[in-house]
Amino acid sequence: MLRLIKIAVSALSITGCGGFGAYQQDVQARVTGLNTSAPPQQALKAMLTAPTNSASMVVTFCEADADTGACLANNTYPSASGLGGVFLPLTLELRALESLRFERNDEYFTALADSPVNQIQPTCAKIKGTINQQKQTRYLTITVPRFYCNWIGIGNVATSFTFAIDKIDPIKKQFTGYYKLSFYGTGNATGSGYFRASVSIQEIPGRTETD
């Protein structure tokens, strides 16, 4: 028993960056660069909307500095850490949202999440997310509610992402803010921090304007 306790303490020390303490929800979103008077929600949706039916958007992420918005380092991503099984340290990295497209008159968007755990790519359901701005405030969030993934060796987990947006730059095709990530099931992890997201266009092979 004592040995198991020591292992658990060691694992928790490795995953000490977990939790939601770095997440800030009440941040004021603003548009920078050209057309700074545009409503933040409108500017963000326009940035994420595919220009044609044969295209979709890719959003890539990095862990960033909250003062400058610059990525902290190469291959450093928004992450969540925790434990799975018998004290197995787990780290989820959110690298990208791929094939992002708005559906049902922009009611929500769908995408595929590139979010490996311990470098293992899971099999996940397609995510559904929404962009929400509170009435009479500039609090702007992207919410991806619970979706299911299966990781080899970890099992089935329910994953969710939330982003509180503070800056939107339509010229650079970037936005920044605070994030919180979590998954629960046969493995459990949480994480929060500051991110930068970059948006690019992805062509969909075989699709046409009339598909």
Q: What is the DSSP letter of 64?
A: B
Strands 30-31 and 96-103: unpaired
- Give the model's confidence band at 16: pLDDT under 50 very low, under 70 low, under 90 confident, else very high: very low
Calpha distance 20→31 (Å, rounded): 26
Mean per-residue pLDDT for 135-153? 86
Q: What is the pLDDT of residue 88?
A: 84
Q: Where are the domains of the chain?
A: 2-203
Q: Whose structure tokens read 């780290």?
A: 91
pTM of the model: 0.86
State the pLDDT at residue 207. 47
H helix runs in 51-147, sequence order = none
Which amino acid makes up residue 115? S
- With a cut of 50, say whether residue 1 has pLDDT above it: no
In the three-class reduction of DSSP (H, G, I as helix; E, B as strand; rest coil), residue 2 is classed as: helix
pLDDT surpasses 50 at 208: no
194 vs 14, higher pLDDT: 194
**Parallel/antiparallel/unpaired status of strands 155-169 and 30-31:** parallel
Structure confidence at residue 38 (pLDDT): 79
pLDDT for the residue numbered 13: 36
Burial string for 125-162 (b: 16+ CB within 10 Å, else e) reads eebebebebeeeebbbbbebeebebebeebeebebbbb
Computed over every residue of the chain, the mean pLDDT equals 85
What per-residue confidence (pLDDT) applies to 17? 54
CB 151 within 8 A of CB 117: yes
pLDDT tens digit string along 37-50? 778 999 999 999 99
* 205 band by pLDDT with thresholds 50, 70 and 90: low
Reported as half-sphere exposure (CB side, CA atoms, 13 A), residue 52 has a value of 12
pLDDT per residue as tens digits for the range 84-133: 876 789 999 999 999 999 988 888 999 999 999 989 888 888 999 999 98
9 pLDDT higher than 60: no
